[in-house]
Amino acid sequence: MSIKVILDTDIGSDVDDAVCLAYLLAQPDCELLGITTVSGEVYKRAMLASVLCKAADKKIPIFPGCEEPLFVAQKQKYAPQAEVLQKWEHDKDFPKEEAIEFMRQTIYKHPGEIVLLTIGPLTNIAMLFKKDSKIPSLLKGLVMMCGVFTTHQPSAPAIEWNITCDPHAADIVYNSDVSVHRSIGLDVTIEVVMGIKQFKERFHSGLLKPVSDFAEVWFRQTDKTTFHDPLAAATIFDEKICVFKKGIVEVELSDEKLRGTTRWTPDVPDKRHEVALEVDSSRFFEHYFSVFSKLT
């Protein structure tokens, strides 16, 4: 039985958003109800999402959302991968200022059925929850790629990008009561990495070809890509990819130097949040590419 998903993304910065969207479009068990974009240049981000939807021959509603964070300065002003738009067919006109209402109305139409997948700064989601406090209770689940929750990966930064881009929005979201509230943090996602050579070998045809073009921009600054966002998406369809544990997550706001730190406390009476602790990397990659083999 298919799972209904709404994707909230900042596609156009790190290439893993495009890697994630391609997966959702190819995943036979995913009913993608819509895409909302967030962070700087939301309309260009919407166009990039449109490229992949057209490559998949699917008509998915796309809504540009909030460009600016709630209170802090914008750290992600541009969508660098937009330079490849000239190479691919894409839509250019999108509804204005309707992203939050689209999510609200869609969730009301399908109470208890939708998984809201967030792979960018949490501004749109915070605005949605503030606009209608009933929305969290109507979700089947909230799955987020954000945060850092453990110290078992010393190479992981103390503060994750999606959180630091809008920590106040993250605080609102973590204080919302969702029946299944899952976070896949940087301390786990950094274990699913692919080098540039292997990436180009795997992303060369079909729906993955435009992703490869997006990646050319990304690879100017690095020789690898980390599958942060695709990992979060994959856990919706295969719960054995990651090991989760319940606890409570708090977002630091008062200390400016530590603002955006996500503090996770396990084994407390209030266990509203589930945090990924481990990942089976081999299982993830096998699962990810299997959905594309079904297209051929």
- How many domains are contained in the chain? 1
Q: Are strands 114-118 and 141-145 parallel, antiparallel or unpaired?
A: parallel
Q: What are the pLDDT tens digits along the chain (296 aa)?
A: 899 999 999 999 999 999 999 999 999 999 999 999 999 999 999 999 999 999 999 999 999 999 999 999 999 999 999 999 999 999 999 999 999 999 999 999 999 999 999 999 999 999 999 999 999 999 999 999 999 998 877 777 889 999 999 999 999 999 999 999 999 999 999 999 999 999 999 999 999 999 999 999 999 999 999 999 999 999 999 999 999 999 999 999 999 999 999 999 998 887 899 999 999 999 999 999 999 987 75
Range of the domain at 90: 3-293
Residue pair 268/248 in contact by the 8 Å Cβ criterion:
yes
Phi/psi zone of residue 267: left (φ > 0), alpha (ψ -120 to 50 degrees), beta? left
What b/e readout covers 65-80, taking b as 16+ CB neighbours within 10 angstroms?
bbbbbbebeeebeebb
We report the CATH number of the domain holding residue 227 as 3.90.245.10
Question: pTM above 0.95?
Answer: yes
Q: Are strands 193-195 and 141-145 parallel, antiparallel or unpaired?
A: unpaired
